[in-house]
Structure 1
Amino acid sequence: MNETLIYSPFHYFLSLEVIHVEIKLPYKTLSLCPECLKVLNAEVYEDSGKVMIRKTCPDHGEFTEVYWGDVELFKKAARFAHDGLGIQTPLTDTKDGCPFSCGLCPLHKSHTALLNIVLTNRCDLACWYCFFYAKRAGYVYEPSVEQIARMVRTARNMKPVGCNAVQLTGGEPTLRDDLIDIIKAIKAEGIDHIQLNTNGIRLAREPDLALKIREAGVNTVYLSFDGVDEKTNPKNFPEVPTILKNCRRAELGIVFVPTVINTVNDHQLGDIIRFAADNIDVVRGVNIQPVSLVGSMPKKERARYRITIPDVIKRIEEQTGGEISRDDFYPVPSVTPISHFVEALTSIPQYELTSHFACGMATYVFKMNGRLVPITRFVDVEGFFEYLNEKADELRTSRIKTIRALKGILDVRKFVDHVKAPKGFDISRILFDILVKHDYTSLGEFHVKALFIGMMHFQDLYNYDIERVKRCVIHYGVPDGRIIPFCAFNVLPEVYRDKIHAEHGIPVEEWERRTGRKLKDDIYRVVRRPKEQE
């Protein structure tokens, strides 16, 4: 498929400066037909205070979908649009165009910030909506330790910036008997940060597992957590207290990961955040994922279940009584000035979170006197970011970059209201240590005190924007050596995920014969479709 050059509504940058620009709606982009995957011209436009995307397939007609639920928040996020340095060591060519040449190809604009590795498609839950796990797929996919190490090595060696964070996912990755060996092998490749994406059932049933994985090298557990009662969270609600206890004992941090569905669990966003804050000694954040409506779905059903980033933010504002507001959230690429400053200081390309501005938003919250206080209430976030860009420009032309000299030119304190800041928590010192000394002990201190609240809305074929895929920073490693963006890997399973896993998997019957085990014996809980949804 040939890629068409189309009008872009915002400037993409070759320099290291962050340029704030206004995106003017409507504008053109490229999308896909949800039925035949044909590349289509699409329009992103405003309608009744929402941002919509519209496209027409010559064979399957017009598709209109909500892109973002609030146009003003969309414009705020768009001001921080920023492209990365691209890929200097592509692994595939561009002959099929985006998103059919993934691997990464030369069209990709962001390095791998997080490499996902699927350890298995087996699971100990049988959920009514999941067609991914082994029994339904008809094969078992489990890459070897050696294959996993090669995936990591490939991502680590990419230029200009190699990957330094890996997430182990599934299926349910704790079903791997060699999980500890896998973690150690990844650490041996020089990876600093390892996340384990899990439903946590084994962390509850095996009291020592949390300690074992932490000692092997896992930094954070990404815990599926869809609600604060059994109705909204049938997967692991009974196990959550024990998971918290075992991770607390192991000093292993947790991030709650709710998949939020409109009319299903969106009413509990405030409760989820407060529960996380009540356990802030072990819970590091809440990473909300508005549901991606994969597969074929009628427009009426999509309207019922669809929830976008602004919708989530507004519900958080309502359900926390304004303690956390829509003004407290910033898009992912807003933090690029931090990377630019460190890059100017060290003359070494740095990690840049240059995802598309519409992919995610986040804030940090502190618990003070029983209240939730966002960092924006005592730090001038935008002023701080602009200041860092100015200082980065100064540093690029300066030959003196000692800590003593930097103390004279970098005054972080003027952006912090110390009267409103948490007591006994010197955020000015922490920011200086992180920026200048690269003291990640200080970064750890920050994360222990603060609660991260973020959201990442992965695409589906109805709201698909190819410009977002090009800027994806969350990628998958696969056995054939390719590195594939999240919204290509999972949204086009017949091209990527399912096809690759089938090629490198073995039939269920053969797996059961080799192992002497039955897949059904893995199942700990069956999650049935709620009656009101039948």
Structure 2
Amino acid sequence: MFSDQFRRGESEKSKLAGVKSSKLLSNLSGVAWKAFQSVNKRLPEGEAIRPNWAPGPLLKSYERTSPPLGFPRETDSLCPRCVKEVRDAVISGETTLESLMNEHPGEIKAQIVEENGQVVMRKTCPKHGEFVDVMATDPAFLERIESLFFGRDFRAAEDSHVHRHGTSNIKFGRGAVLTVDLTNRCNMMCNPCFMDANQVGYVHEPTYEDTKAILDRAVSFKP
């Protein structure tokens, strides 16, 4: 018993020493980075790199813009119940797919605020009432993550046939990965699944022609 307690105590000491070493290394890295930035700002600015695929020279950090961050703030959101109703209407043929781009069904404003040690999103649908979603249980951590946002990239170009998502149009950035879902059949039901596998009540499988059209559109615009 004594030996077991001694080992546990020694392990705790080792763990504490590791934490202290990690904090020391982090602080030293922070000081070194600030020193580098201080020297770098005094050096003459060189010509920005321009890759063949880019519409212009790569943007420097101070040239990039960012959306509103922090909290409290207002943002655009969706009513979760309206989304299901509109999806069912599109599937049944009661409304067209274009209505998602032109009529903005289910879109509502939301407030992101800090309450009781959490960051929550509050939104009210005129039809279905109020919804409250927890975005973070650690406000300081979320604030830190948002502060690391590196800024918007190039404005998307020559992509009118791809990024047609209505209010949710992708306006900035360049694509690095193309994912084509060939089926929503799956033997699992993971909540974060973007295909809503096994949860929508129907099978979605694009035809060969549909898949070819997706790939053709994907290579038709600049990344």
**TM-score (ref. length: structure 2):** 0.49
**TM-score when normalising by structure 1:** 0.22
Which structure is larger by alpha-carbon Rg, 1 or 2?
Answer: 2
